[in-house]
Amino acid sequence: MSWSSCPFCSQQVLSTELERHANNHFEDEDLAKDFQLAKHYHDEDIPFDLPHHIAVSSSSTNCFYHCEAKHGFSSIMVMLKDCLECDNGTNTSILCGHVDHFQSVEFEDIGWGCGWRNIQMLTSHLVVQRQEAKEILFGGDGLVPDILSLQRWLEIAWEKGFDIAGANDFDQKIYGKKTWIGTTECAALFRSFGIRARIVDFSSASRLSTDVSGNKKRKSTPQVTTGPMDKYLNTTASTSTSNSKSINDNNFLGVKGSQLLANWVWSYFSKNNNNNDMSASIKPKPGCNRVVVTDKAPLYFQHDGHSRTIVGIQLKSLPNGMHQHSLLILDPAHKTKVLESCLSKKVGWQRYIKRGVHTLKKSDYQMCYVDHGIATEEEMEKLKILDSTRFEF
């Protein structure tokens, strides 16, 4: 039986009851006080000792209780690195450094909270791997906010003028709502701190039509989608929360289908923070597996009805001389303990984490990624209007 001290009253309570007990210190009607707490919680001297994958996120309480971010290479990523080094075949894998897994919690956010959990995973990387980001994110304490706190911070971002169109879609309010979010909300939240969050959009060419001027445009009646993607896909350029711009890159010309997405992910992770391509130096070596730890942040990976976090990519050498990509993904829908068990035993982890190109069957995907550095004051104004780079399958 494990006991923990309440960070608000110092009472010793069962660890399994700590979240409920802590939440009872807050009253639902005290919203104004909580709003200020979301802005200034870092001034409070509060101890945190909950396991990192646990986050208070009850929509019926106003708790801004935060989990402590571990420093260094997170245990789940250490175990994943070990598994990749022992994987069958001759492979090269590129991994992020520190990323903690945040799972959706039963009776809390299952069915709607995946976007917030992915923001937590991305935050866990930034506050450990990037000192400049740690100093400005969520008060500068290096803590990963719970869902309710993130919702407050997003409202603050909207108040500052970030993604006004997206804010209007939510009537400027999202605190306490069990509402799906997507890449635009993730980008707006991070941009409000000066983090250079970008959006990239992968869309099937069959979903596009050509107007009289020869320009590609969205079909007026796209297939039905669920979740945050449909807001992006079903609005016109003049009202969309993201203004898309097409791009041509020689590295992707002639690549068809979802392989284009995999190539983009490989290119993203294989470039260092100076945008220098490291691909040539990290190709598979005969007879061994290589795992390279990059300085790149994980990717918020959105598709119809769900979102996950891409923490790396594997390139497998096939006997015929060809290569095969697999995305390495942490899914909020999976239990952290199950992932840790499979990884520690090196058994069955592949079905949870590895996703081959053949599994990417959706018509549209979006990603949110973070560039290095902090935006200047001039950049901040530009970052208020979200845009995206689009690749067509």
Find the CATH number of the domain harbouring 288: 3.90.70.130
Residue 16 inside a domain? The answer is: no
Q: Which residues does 145 contact at the CB level (< 8 Å), separation at least 6? A: 64, 66, 120, 123, 138, 153
End-to-end CA distance of the chain: 54
Give me the domain span that covers residue 384: 73-392
Residue 64 inside a domain? The answer is: no
Please state, in angstroms and rounded to a whole number, the distance separating the CA atoms of residues 19 and 54: 9
CA atoms within 13 A on the CB side of 310: 28
Please state, in angstroms and rounded to a whole number, the distance separating the CA atoms of residues 155 and 173: 6
Q: Strand 306-317 to strand 323-330: parallel, antiparallel, or no bridges (unpaired)?
A: antiparallel
Would you write out the chain's pLDDT as a tens digit for each of its 393 residues?
A: 666 666 556 666 665 565 555 555 443 334 444 444 444 433 343 332 233 333 333 332 333 333 433 444 578 999 999 999 988 878 899 999 999 999 999 888 898 999 999 999 999 999 999 999 999 999 998 999 999 999 999 999 999 999 999 999 999 999 999 999 999 999 999 999 999 999 999 987 665 433 333 333 333 333 434 445 534 432 323 233 444 444 445 555 556 678 899 999 999 999 876 666 665 556 656 667 889 999 999 999 999 889 999 999 999 877 777 788 999 999 999 999 999 999 999 999 999 999 999 898 888 999 999 999 999 999 999 999 998 888 886
Residue 10 inside a domain? The answer is: no
Residue 215 inside a domain? The answer is: yes
Residue 337 inside a domain? The answer is: yes
| CB-CB neighbours of 243 under 10 Å | 12
Residue 51 inside a domain? The answer is: no
| CB-CB neighbours of 94 under 10 Å | 25
Q: How many domains does the chain have?
A: 1
Question: Quick one: how far is CA 126 from the chain centroid?
Answer: 11
Residue 361 inside a domain? The answer is: yes
Cβ(5)–Cβ(12) below 8 Å? yes
Paired residues of 317 in beta bridges: 90, 323
Cβ(173)–Cβ(230) below 8 Å? no
Residue 184 inside a domain? The answer is: yes
Structure tokens given for 267: 């290119």
